[in-house]
Chain A
Amino acid sequence: VKAVLYDGAECADRVTSAVARAAYEELADIGVRARRLCLREMQIGWCRGCLGCWVQSPGLCVRDDDAHTVMAAYVKCDVAVFVTRVTFGGYSAQAKRAVDCLLGLLSVTMRRYGMQVRHAPRYVRMPRLLVVGVAPVDKEEMELFRAMVAAQARSLHAPRARALAVHAPADLEGRLPRALSDLGVAA
């Protein structure tokens, strides 16, 4: 099993950073081959919504930065793990920069999927999605976070997705393997 862990901690956010480290170690402990991408150390620009990844250099971001690393790692893994502080019920800006890059993994063609019309996937196989949300303020915020992860999974055609809420690295113990098992990922 190949996993990519996107560490979406902001520079001063030690708790999220510690949770990301703990998640990485836990993945190694259960035998998952994980690669850690520390997003704050990467050069990832703001998505400009230029659609260049569809109409100019299909499948690739037109920016010459680490967006390509983020995209390539995502499409080649079995499970993508994002670690982010829950911010207004969603990703932190740092983590969302990486998520916004993933638009290029979708095709320009739209199709109907159930009740909604969405962009078709560019790649046949898309990874499962696990998003670890750090320090949600209340239950309502966590519910919104879960809904966001579910919507993102639909958009990115992730076969399965889970959202986990934690407040400290210790909260991950035992829960990460369970979440992976729920996703149908066996180490």
Chain B
Amino acid sequence: MTTSHRALLLAGSLKREDSSSAALGEYLCECLRGQGMVTETFWLADVADRVARWDDCVRAVGRSQLVLLCFPVYADSLPAIVIEACTRIAAAAMPLKRCAAVTCAGNPEATHCRIAVAQCRRFCDACGWTWAGALAMGEGDTIAGRPLGSLGYLQRHTRRALRLAAVALAQGGSVPERARDAMARPVLPVWLYPWYAWVGQRRMAWQRGGARGLHARPFMEADRNGSNNA
């Protein structure tokens, strides 16, 4: 039985549809819709780009019974804009909701998401809401913003994790342990991922003009030239 009919995906990546975390969130929403839930997505990028206001974000949260925080991990914790959103939502003192998180890190191990997930739980406690668990994965570059459905065999565990989580969340439960485990399972061997990421970033560097000075130390160079950037 579906107990929470409306879910809000709070997408914290400012890369919007090009982001890996948003691809995870969108797939989870697709699965939740398959379970009879109504989903809505609020892009924090809209606030950053001044297309929407923080009030719109708080109102969107107010309309839903299930809040899904979806974000990339920056510097081992929540991105600044997600912290800002959480602070504003907590200050709005909304009635009881359920909250879950979906996140990915650019490093190979899902353990890089541990602190950010714990922060989400603190946010949930601060709001007085029910924590419904989190799904975290490493190797975010293996998604690179592409829809999960198009990624075939490589992301089969990720899709299975999200499907399992959607069933549990739609029934009013928490993210099951086997979903968490499937999500945390490395897509590529940990030894291979740095090479995979390096090749992708090298290609990006050629496209975006930074390939020649990938290892530049601009502030040290400024020191040597006698100027002061600081």
Majority secondary structure of chain B interface residues (helix, strand, loop or mixed): helix
Tell me which of A46, A54, A96, A151 contacts B210 (CB under 8 A): A54
Q: Judging by beta carbons under 8 Å apart, are A122 and B217 in contact?
A: yes
Tell me which of B83, B209, B222 contacts A88 (CB under 8 A): B83
Tell me which of A47, A107, A110, A152 contacts B107 (CB under 8 A): A110
Q: Judging by beta carbons under 8 Å apart, are B76 and A152 in contact?
A: yes
Q: Judging by beta carbons under 8 Å apart, are A57 and B115 in contact?
A: no
Assuming the A-B contacts A47-B79, A49-B14, are A88 and B223 also in contact, with contact meaning beta carbons closer than 8 angstroms in the complex? no
Say if the beta carbon of A103 comes within 8 Å of chain B.
yes
| Chain B 76-91: CB-based contact to A (< 8 A → 1; otherwise 0) | 1111110110110000
Q: Which residues of A contact B218 (CB under 8 A)?
A: 58-60
Say if the beta carbon of B142 comes within 8 Å of chain A.
no
Say if the beta carbon of B96 comes within 8 Å of chain A.
no
* Chain A, residue nearest B13 (CB): A49
Q: Judging by beta carbons under 8 Å apart, are A93 and B216 in contact?
A: no
Q: Which residues of A contact B15 (CB under 8 A)?
A: 48-50
Q: Which residues of B contact A55 (CB under 8 A)?
A: 201, 204-205, 208, 210-211, 214
Kindly state the separation between the CA atoms of A100 and B81 in the bound complex, as whole angstroms.
10
Tell me which of A69, A111, A123, A148 contacts B217 (CB under 8 A): A123
Q: Which residues of A contact B133 (CB under 8 A)?
A: none
Say if the beta carbon of B94 comes within 8 Å of chain A.
no
What number of residue pairs across chains A and B have CB atoms under 8 A from each other? Answer: 178
Nearest Cβ on chain B to A137's Cβ, whole angstroms:
8
* Chain B, residue nearest A109 (CB): B198
Q: Judging by beta carbons under 8 Å apart, are A48 and B14 in contact?
A: yes
Say if the beta carbon of A108 comes within 8 Å of chain B.
yes
Q: Judging by beta carbons under 8 Å apart, are B215 and A93 in contact?
A: no
* Chain A, residue nearest B109 (CB): A116
Tell me which of B83, B204, B217 contacts A51 (CB under 8 A): B204
Stretch from A20-28, A72-80, A163-171 at the B interface: A72-80
Q: Which residues of A contact B202 (CB under 8 A)?
A: 108
Which residues of chain B from 184 to 220 have a CB within 8 Å of any chain A CB? 190, 193-194, 197-198, 201-202, 204-205, 208-211, 213-220
Tell me which of B80, B198, B223, B230 contacts A35 (CB under 8 A): B230
| Chain A 139-163: CB-based contact to B (< 8 A → 1; otherwise 0) | 0010010011001101110000000
Q: Judging by beta carbons under 8 Å apart, are A69 and B48 in contact?
A: no
Say if the beta carbon of B2 comes within 8 Å of chain A.
no
Q: Judging by beta carbons under 8 Å apart, are B75 and A93 in contact?
A: no
Say if the beta carbon of A68 comes within 8 Å of chain B.
yes
30 A-B pairs with C-beta separation under 8 A: A46-B48, A46-B79, A46-B80, A48-B14, A49-B15, A50-B15, A54-B201, A54-B214, A55-B208, A56-B205, A76-B219, A76-B223, A88-B126, A93-B81, A93-B83, A93-B84, A96-B78, A100-B75, A100-B80, A108-B205, A108-B214, A109-B215, A110-B107, A119-B107, A122-B217, A147-B115, A148-B77, A148-B115, A148-B119, A151-B112
9 closest residue pairs by CB, A with B: A93-B84, A110-B194, A72-B229, A96-B80, A151-B76, A55-B205, A72-B230, A88-B122, A48-B14
